[in-house]
A and B are shown apart, each in its own frame.
Chain A
Amino acid sequence: MSLSRKNEPLGAGAGPAGFDAFGFLAKFAPLIFLLVLMAVFTLLEPRFLSSLNLFNVMRQVSIFGLLAIGMTFVILTRGIDLSVGSLLAFAGLVAAAVAKGGFECRFAVGAEAEAAGFGWPLALLAAIAVGVLAGGLQGLAITKLKVPPFVVTLGGMSAFRGAALLFAGGGPISGFDEGYRWWGQGYVGLVPVPVIIFLSFAVLAHILLRYTRFGRRVYAVGGNPEAARLSGLNVDRITLQVYLIIGFMAGLGGFVLSARLNSAEAVAGLTYELTVIASVVIGGTSLFGGIGTIFGTVIGTLLIGILLNGLVLNNVSSYVQQIIIGIIIVLAVAFDTFAKSQRRR
């Protein structure tokens, strides 16, 4: 979580700082919580620690993770994106339709499908294009029409879901060729492909945030938009870019999810926005903007994924899971608010 340095000595030559228990806890709380959780689940259900289950968890988590990476950028700028789940479903359907060569061929399989379809590369491109376009539209509404991100993406959440339902005409599009499915079901060595995609993008995003001009500006815009503007930053452009990024991630996520399930449907990704926001916030990214890391988001994503997996293995109903996610979001934000007040004194 956000690191508090209030006890650090101000003089360069001062003696060693006293142990800042709060700061330490704030920084490592998610990691500690993750380890404790894994220990508890292992005790309750030894199957949990099997490599099969762990990779399974990782693979499930990958889709959330891709969205959470995009969400980190958005939340860092004091924004929010409620539309990711809907956009993911829509983009997945578009990818599926492209792969199938249109709706007429939606039930085609085998050689017939290979003949009609446009292949997975175009499907992937289409999914990403849809995501980026939708993200761009939302970004423009936020920066040009000055509508708060919450409202714009709440609208997007409804609109993209509607678009997905309309596009699918009620039914799923299933049965893809092997090349397509590999993106969701394949392995490189022991590691599932979605996990590789997730971790690659995590590394990329980490580098983008930490080592580039753009990353610095994202933190600055979220840390203090007024100061950013008065420092000559084009706040609107940076805000727009951030929504392009999350749109990209939603498009990619939609494609990977459809590949993993070998099916795209309009109701995919329901309530994903909540899980994703919870992951990001638990990972220490502040909803007040300007504070957070990709590392934290990866930990937060694993934490939520493992929590849900452990609950499933222990036969806790999905209704109860939703209650738990809800409580976790509120507690994480309460902690964030508390951390903020500690920093400001």
Chain B
Amino acid sequence: MPAPFLQMTGIAKRYPGVQALDGVEIALHAGEVLALLGENGAGKSTLLKILSGAETPDDGRILLDGQAIRLTGPLDAQESGIVTIYQEFNLIPTLSIAENVLLGREPLNALGLVDWRMMDRRARDIIAEVGLDLDPRRIVADLSVAEQQMVEIARSLSLDSRLIIMDEPTSALSDSEVMRLFDIIEGLKERGIAVIFVTHRLEEVMQICDAATVLRDGQLVGSAPIAELTVERIIQMMVGRDVERLFARRPAHGTGEVALEIEGLESRVDSRDPHNTHLSGIDLSVHRGEILGLAGLVGAGRTELARAIFGVDPISAGRIRIEGREISPTSPEDAIKAGIGLVPEDRKQQALFLSLAVKTNLSIAALDRLASKLGWIDRPAEDALVERYRERLAIRMASPDQEVGNLSGGNQQKVVLARWLALEPKVLIVDEPTRGIDVAAKAEVHQLLFELAQSGIAIIVISSELPEVMTVSDRIVTLREGRITGEVMAAEASEEQLLALMSLKQQAA
């Protein structure tokens, strides 16, 4: 076998608080398709960012044809023949195919003006390389997701790329479009172009890739030719150690009456937003005092389900019942009135008013209870409310008038939780309860969820961290591409089994 044309050795990258990558290596041969695999947070995106020049590593070397190179910007990477195709395409949606494909290198005529006829002809030739037969004057925004992806691939080909990195290229494609993409990848291989293929769909890895590199917690687990691997072996590599339960589990609860019941829920199809997973046929119930975990990979529809229940995104079919009473929330306002609370996944963007006081952040949803008919806020009652939850959740703050933006992540999350507890909800949906908060605070938040369940609230926990889902939940439901693929009692679940349910098309059980 010839020497690899691209080698990365000893790559390390540290972000405040986490070692994103440590001693990672990759070797890539011309015409090879390499799968880059790992759970959420394993370090795949960081590695991609380094290869595309968006981040510089703290340590390690990148060798191209045996020469050490430094990639300090996307342009560097492009000049080295490395092009990355992200999930969010880099096309300019308001421009035509031709303008996008030839952006920055438009053919000029004798007067120095853009030669449009030449431009169309060249663009047509370029997209023909990937078998795309479209009018180059069409506006990119009007193309399907698959077509946009092909245009991007065509553009990278025209840049004389040697390596094309594809980040979850199939997540928004239909089956037939995936097959077409694979044909194109085969074509790339024949031309000696290497591909790094990032995906959560392991069956695709077996189908199209030549080798796989698996990361876990920022470390290299191993690399092997696909011929030597099986799906089971890959899952084992991704999960690694036997799952250590980080925190003591509480005894299973939640055999109370049904608090939330969902039947045949279907979300409205939004063709304009390919990243919004379409939910269909969702049946689900959560009991009083139970914690239900929702597990799924990025794009499985976990957050979409939470938003549909909470009245944020419209649904096209299905029933939602709270304690047996049917509701049809069309706004969070409706859902809250029905007794549902949602702690959204992005604390800073979706939950907190960073420039406002802790007090305001905590009481904002409960103002109707704290204010007189005329809207006059009962301040002593508000102060008492804040004090009660400060004590109960052990929120550490200098004063209730402090800006919430100055609290630590863990305390911010407690403020958001307190906001909902103040409303005494029947159902509380918690999306990524511990994202970006430290280990100690994480344990506190978990403990808090247990206590809340104990008090009779039905809780749905969504988390990208499987160990967290397994620690916190009584029961776990797995989602894939907007459908429920399995249900397991947490006490009997294994990470391997869950991962299989989350990532395989043919479900095991």
Residues of A within 8 A of B (CB): 2, 5-6, 8-12, 14, 211-214, 216-217, 219-220, 223-224, 226-234, 286, 290-291, 343-344
Contacts and interface: CB of A to CB of B under 8 A. Distances in A.
Nearest to A219: B356
B377 interface: yes
Given A10-B406, A12-B397, A227 B350 contact: yes
Given A213-B371, A232-B336, A224 B312 contact: no
Contact of B355 (A223, A230, A232): A223
A221 B354 CA distance: 12
Interface string B106-149: 00000000000000000000000000000000000000000000
Contacts of B403: 5, 343
5 contacts: A5-B402, A213-B368, A227-B349, A229-B331, A232-B331
Interface in B321-370: 331-333, 335-337, 342, 344, 349-356, 360, 363-365, 367-368, 370
Contacts of B375: 212-214
B377 A226 contact: no
B209 to A, nearest CB: 39
B376 interface: yes
Nearest to B363: A216
Contacts of A217: 364, 367
A240 to B, nearest CB: 15
A11 B398 contact: yes
Given A216-B360, A233-B364, A227 B352 contact: yes
Interface in B398-441: 398-399, 402-403, 405-408, 419
A172 to B, nearest CB: 41
Given A227-B350, A230-B350, A8 B371 contact: no
B377 A231 contact: no
B356 A12 contact: no
B396 interface: yes
A220 B355 contact: no
Contact of B397 (A6, A10, A233, A344): A10
B355 A216 contact: no
A174 to B, nearest CB: 41
A138 to B, nearest CB: 23
Contacts of A234: 331, 333
A14 B398 contact: yes
B396 A213 contact: no
Contacts of B376: 211-213
Contact of B398 (A8, A219, A228): A8
Given A227-B351, A227-B352, A230-B351, A216 B364 contact: yes
Q: Name the 3 nearest CB pairs between A and B, nearest first.
A: A223-B353, A232-B336, A213-B371
Contact of A343 (B332, B355, B371, B379): B355
Most chain-B Cβ atoms within 10 A of its Cβ — which of A5, A6, A212, A213?
Answer: A213
Contacts of B352: 224, 227
**B interface, size bucket:** 35 or more
B371 A230 contact: no
A209 to B, nearest CB: 11
Nearest to B353: A223
Contact of B402 (A8, A211, A223, A228): A8
Contacts of B312: 229-230
A212 B377 CA distance: 5
Contacts of B349: 224, 226-227
Nearest to A231: B365
Contacts of A286: 355
B377 A216 contact: yes
B419 A231 contact: yes
Contacts of B363: 216
A290 B350 CA distance: 15
Contacts of A228: 353, 364
Contacts of A11: 396, 398
A343 B405 contact: yes
Contact of B396 (A10, A227, A343): A10
Contacts of B360: 216, 219-220
A226 to B, nearest CB: 5
Interface in B474-509: none
Given A214-B375, A227-B349, A227-B351, 18 more contacts: A8-B402, A10-B396, A10-B397, A10-B407, A212-B374, A217-B367, A220-B356, A220-B360, A223-B353, A223-B355, A229-B331, A229-B332, A231-B332, A232-B336, A234-B333, A290-B355, A291-B355, A343-B405
B353 A219 contact: yes
A227 B355 CA distance: 13
A233 B333 contact: yes
Nearest to A226: B350
A211 B380 CA distance: 12
A227 B342 CA distance: 11
Nearest to A214: B375
Contacts of B406: 5-6, 8, 10
B402 A224 contact: no
A232 B337 CA distance: 9
A4 B375 CA distance: 29
Most chain-B Cβ atoms within 10 A of its Cβ — which of A224, A226, A227, A290?
Answer: A227
B461 to A, nearest CB: 17
B405 A344 contact: yes
Nearest to B408: A10
A227 B396 CA distance: 22
Contacts of A214: 375
A224 B367 CA distance: 17
Given A213-B367, A233-B364, A223 B398 contact: no
A231 B404 CA distance: 16
Nearest to B407: A10
Contacts of B398: 8-12, 14
Contacts of A213: 367-368, 370-371, 375-377
A139 to B, nearest CB: 18
A6 B404 CA distance: 11
Nearest to A207: B376
A291 B354 CA distance: 11
Interface string B284-321: 00000000000000000000000000101000000000
Contacts of A219: 353, 356, 360
B356 A223 contact: yes
Contacts of A216: 360, 363-364, 367, 377
A12 B399 CA distance: 7
A281 to B, nearest CB: 16
Interface string B50-82: 000000000000000000000000000000000
Contacts of B367: 213, 216-217
Contacts of B377: 211-213, 216
A112 B66 CA distance: 101
